[in-house]
């Protein structure tokens, strides 16, 4: 029986395999979720009635945990599946908003041949199959079931939790095994970092991997990019200097979601190590121990900019604080890149002084020995990381000629990654997604 490995108490996968190489032991992960397909029996409608006072249709199910369900008339009319209201081939609504009466009422309801049939006050007639309705029940339990497949258990990590526990799989497995591809995406969602091994040391492998998901995200640096020391470079990454921990391309409103760096050639001399820090872990730690500085980083608008010529001519500018919060006050995004932080400020003199103190604390925490992991990528490895969350850096290195260290990089957007994950989830039978159809 395969073993499950856990990180911070969360099940990450089975089939653990420790690979000791230098200071880093990686855990091979093939599958991170057992099959949870809900093979339920087909629901059967027993009865239906119309409640005029609350303008809802109430259905009675023959079996099931929610035996009676109420349906707002406006919702039922809105989701009519006839050819006039719905395009079955695309799964899209044809009914335009101006034709939907929010106060539409039911003139007649009945169950015929197992389906719910309704005659509406606007003269339209609709028919609904019980499975369609059952999957959309307005109940607490169904709401929980609908959002469950999207729930990712974020595993925040520091050095102790991640050193020697980097989730890992081979390039071959990711390209040939759906379960491996699924586990890879899930890990990127949950821990924000993943190491791929045994990749051919030639260019184009990043694109091959991206094509298993969707397509590479093109940016001002091209469809993919090569990181090596260049003369007259268009980006600090294209030098051999130390790069502080940062997220990439903060000057984009639609910032690339996930980055892949493929080590094709590594310098044999000292330096050129990669560093990674979980920005969510550090931000949460800061919130607890330095709430004033945390608040400053959440509220100070920072201008991130990049101008020049690479893939084409560009002048990109976006303003966003270093730490973004979601509606519930949870840390949802890190934007931090000293190379691309603009010198123009939108803050007062006093606020700017406070901001610098908070930012210095933030940078110190990112680099704290308890918070970052460091290792030198080996040739044939691809490190993948969540660009809204995991900051990456590099120690400087010495080269004599150009091209002694070659990394090829590329990005994938989270929309595409999550889309592929949902498709795989359905295909592998892990958890069912309900499409609009």
Smallest separation, CB 125 to Zn ion (Å): 7
Q: Which is nearer to Fe ion, 224 or 248 (CB)?
A: 248
Strand locations in 16-98 (E): 18-21, 24-28, 45-51, 56-61, 68-72, 86-87, 92-93
Smallest separation, CB 84 to Zn ion (Å): 5
Map residue 65 onto helix, strand or coil: coil
85 lines the binding site for Zn ion (CB under 5 A): yes
In this structure, are residues 81 and 127 in contact, taking their beta carbons and an 8 Å threshold?
yes
CA terminus-to-terminus distance, the chain: 39
> Rounded CA gap, 21 and 164, in Å?
9
Closest CA to 171 of 214, 210, 200: 200
C-beta nearest to Fe ion: residue: 248
Site for Fe ion in 197-256 (CB under 5 A): 248
Pick the stretch among 43-51, 83-91, 260-268, 323-331 that binds Zn ion (CB under 5 A): 83-91
Closest CA to 273 of 263, 287, 259, 283: 263
Smallest separation, CB 82 to Zn ion (Å): 3
Q: Is 135 exposed, middle or buried (0-12, 13-18, 19+ CB in 10 A)?
A: middle
Q: Which is nearer to Fe ion, 248 or 381 (CB)?
A: 248
Site for Fe ion in 173-192 (CB under 5 A): none
Smallest separation, CB 79 to Zn ion (Å): 9
Pick the stretch among 47-55, 79-87, 152-160, 273-281 that binds Zn ion (CB under 5 A): 79-87
Smallest separation, CB 58 to Zn ion (Å): 21
Smallest separation, CB 156 to Zn ion (Å): 48
> Rounded CA gap, 82 and 105, in Å?
18
User: Of 56, 80, 116, 322, which one interacts with Zn ion (CB under 5 A)?
Assistant: 80
Identify what 248 binds: Fe ion, Zn ion, none; CB under 5 to 8 Å per kind.
Answer: Fe ion
> Rounded CA gap, 435 and 419, in Å?
12
> Rounded CA gap, 61 and 66, in Å?
8
Site for Fe ion in 344-383 (CB under 5 A): none
Q: Which is nearer to Fe ion, 248 or 416 (CB)?
A: 248
Identify what 224 binds: Zn ion, Fe ion, none; CB under 5 to 8 Å per kind.
Answer: none
243 lines the binding site for Zn ion (CB under 5 A): no
Identify what 297 binds: Fe ion, Zn ion, none; CB under 5 to 8 Å per kind.
Answer: none
Q: Which residues contact 164 (CB under 8 A, 6 or more apart)?
A: 18, 23, 24, 25, 26, 27
Query: What are the residues binding Zn ion (CB under 5 A)?
Result: 80, 82, 84-85
Residues interacting with Fe ion, by CB under 5 A?
Answer: 248
């Amino acid at each position: 029986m395969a073993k499950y490995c856990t990180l911070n108490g969360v099940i990450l996968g089975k089939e653990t395999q420790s690979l000791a190489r230098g200071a880093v032991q990686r855990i091979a992960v093939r599958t991170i979720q057992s099959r949870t397909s809900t093979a339920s029996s087909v629901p059967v409608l027993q009865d239906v009635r119309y409640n005029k006072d609350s303008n809802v249709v109430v259905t009675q199910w023959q079996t099931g945990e929610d035996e009676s369900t109420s349906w707002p008339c406006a919702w039922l009319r809105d989701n009519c599946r006839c050819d006039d209201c719905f395009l079955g081939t695309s799964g899209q609504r044809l009914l335009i908003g101006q034709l939907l009466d929010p106060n539409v009422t039911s003139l007649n309801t009945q169950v015929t041949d197992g389906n719910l049939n309704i005659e509406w006050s606007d003269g339209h007639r609709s028919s609904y199959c019980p499975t369609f309705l059952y999957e959309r029940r307005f109940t607490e339990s169904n709401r929980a079931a609908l959002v469950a497949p999207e729930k990712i258990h974020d595993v925040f990590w520091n050095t102790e939790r991640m050193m020697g526990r980097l989730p890992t799989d081979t390039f071959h497995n990711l390209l040939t095994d759906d379960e491996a591809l699924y586990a890879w995406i899930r890990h990127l969602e949950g821990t924000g970092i993943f190491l791929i091994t045994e990749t051919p040391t030639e260019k184009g492998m990043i694109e091959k991997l991206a094509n298993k998901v969707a397509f590479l995200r093109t940016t001002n640096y091209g469809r993919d990019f090569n990181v090596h020391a260049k003369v007259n470079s268009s980006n600090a990454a294209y030098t051999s200097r130390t790069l502080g921990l940062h997220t990439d391309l903060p000057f984009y409103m639609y910032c690339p979601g996930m980055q892949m760096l493929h080590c094709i050639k590594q310098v044999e001399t000292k330096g050129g190590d990669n560093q990674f820090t979980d920005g969510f872990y550090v931000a949460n730690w800061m919130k607890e121990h330095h709430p004033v500085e945390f608040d400053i980083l959440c509220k100070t608008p920072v201008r991130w900019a990049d101008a020049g010529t690479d893939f084409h001519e560009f002048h990109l500018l976006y303003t966003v604080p270093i730490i973004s919060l979601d509606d519930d006050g949870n840390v949802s995004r890190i934007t931090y890149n000293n190379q691309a932080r603009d010198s123009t400020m939108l803050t007062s003199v006093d606020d700017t002084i406070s901001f610098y103190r908070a930012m210095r604390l933030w940078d110190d925490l990112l680099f704290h020995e308890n918070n970052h992991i460091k290792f030198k990528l080996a040739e044939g490895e691809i490190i993948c990381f969540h660009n809204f969350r995991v900051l990456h850096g590099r120690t400087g290195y010495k080269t004599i000629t150009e091209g002694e260290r070659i990394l090829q990089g590329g990005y994938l957007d989270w929309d595409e990654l999550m889309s592929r994950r949902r498709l795989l989830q359905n295909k592998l039978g892990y958890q069912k997604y309900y499409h609009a159809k």
